């Protein structure tokens, strides 16, 4: 007889939502890291980062030449913010730990979900002029509409994410009905998306329609999969929830919120904060709306 905690009880949903909040911040950071690593591979010096909720994230770099962004070596600079989170999501989906916990698996689902949403459906459509994928298409004289391939790819991965979540739900309830499957996806995945949109609206005002439509693509794919498919139960027994897991997730939430506040909080006159750990050179990519600061600034203020 199975006594495992079901994925839709209040405690499990609470853990899942905490994991979602932490995963949102982590996905933004991972996108910025992806661009930074791509820039370094192209010969840039990585000097900082800005991670706003309502704008394109940027790895702040010193470029080797003025026209670096149009050179072939800039491919990783423009596409790294999409590629790294997507690759990370694929890797996480393949993980099958020997002694899994329900909290750990729900956190994994949220990390995958937000990696594909942020990198594939949100950021590529947030800025049609200066967005990473949009600029890459423009520089290569490709159709701007190809930017929608990113949410299409996210939709494919969203189906696998829905599959993993429903596997967990079936561990303790094998007779999961079609309505229950859809409700599980709504509670764990769609509700946090609504919360994300609400927070972005509070921070930056009206949310553009393009990223909203972008989010709708993988969300719809996850719901359609839940409606059509009935995956088998997760193959390994799941250890129950624990106070240690909740404490770890709360810590992750605090760290994510602190990082976003330091490196992406909205400022006066439509500007956004950024963190720098290097000196900006003559050829840098720091946009006019970014107000960078360094840890040394805090030290100087305290002296």
Residue 207 per-residue DSSP state: P
Length of the chain: 303
pLDDT at 176 over 90: no
pLDDT band for 128, please (50, 70, 90 cuts): very high
Rounded distance between C-alpha atoms, residue 259 and residue 246, angstroms: 20
The pTM of this model reads 0.93
Q: Does the pLDDT at position 299 exceed 90?
A: no
For 98-107, how does the pLDDT look when each residue is reduced to its tens digit (9 = 90+)? 888 889 999 9
Query: In whole angstroms, what is the distance from residue 303 CA to residue 289 CA?
Result: 28
**Strands 45-50, 290-293: pairing kind:** unpaired
Residue range 216-222: mean pLDDT, rounded: 97
Kindly report, residue by residue over 42-76, the tens digit of the pLDDT: 999 999 999 999 999 999 999 999 999 999 999 99
178-196 tens-digit pLDDT: 899 999 999 999 999 999 9
* Enclosing H/E stretch for 47: strand 45-50
Predicted confidence (pLDDT) at residue 2 exceeds the cutoff of 60: no
User: Using DSSP, how many helices (H) and how many strands (E) does the chain show?
Assistant: 11, 4
């Amino acid at each position: 007889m199975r006594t495992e905690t079901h994925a839709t009880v209040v405690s499990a949903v609470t853990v899942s939502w905490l994991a979602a909040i932490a995963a949102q911040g982590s996905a933004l950071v991972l996108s910025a890291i992806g661009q930074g690593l791509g820039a370094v591979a192209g010969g840039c010096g990585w000097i900082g980062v800005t991670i706003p909720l309502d704008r394109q994230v940027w790895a702040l770099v010193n470029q080797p030449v003025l026209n670096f962004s149009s050179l072939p070596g800039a491919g990783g600079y423009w596409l790294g913010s999409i590629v790294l989170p997507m690759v990370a999501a694929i890797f996480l989906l393949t993980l099958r730990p020997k002694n899994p916990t329900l909290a750990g698996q729900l956190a994994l689902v949220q990390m995958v979900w937000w990696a594909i949403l942020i990198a594939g459906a949100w950021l590529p459509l947030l800025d049609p002029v200066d967005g990473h994928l949009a600029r890459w298409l423009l520089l290569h004289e490709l159709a701007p509409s190809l930017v929608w391939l990113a949410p299409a790819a996210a939709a494919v991965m969203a189906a696998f994410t829905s599959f993993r979540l429903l596997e967990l739900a079936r561990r303790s309830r094998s007779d999961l009905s079609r309505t229950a499957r859809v409700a599980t996806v709504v509670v764990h995945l769609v509700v946090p998306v609504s919360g994300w949109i609400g927070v972005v609206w509070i921070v930056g005002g009206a949310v553009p329609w393009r990223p909203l439509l972008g989010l709708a693509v993988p969300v719809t794919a996850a719901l359609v999969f839940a409606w059509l498919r009935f995956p088998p139960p997760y193959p390994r027994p799941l250890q129950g929830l624990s106070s240690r897991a909740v404490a770890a997730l709360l810590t992750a939430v605090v760290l994510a919120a602190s990082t976003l506040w330091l490196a992406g909080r909205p400022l006066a006159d439509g500007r956004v904060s950024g963190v720098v750990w290097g000196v900006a050179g003559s050829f840098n990519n720091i946009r006019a709306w970014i107000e960078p600061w360094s840890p040394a600034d805090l030290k100087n203020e305290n002296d």
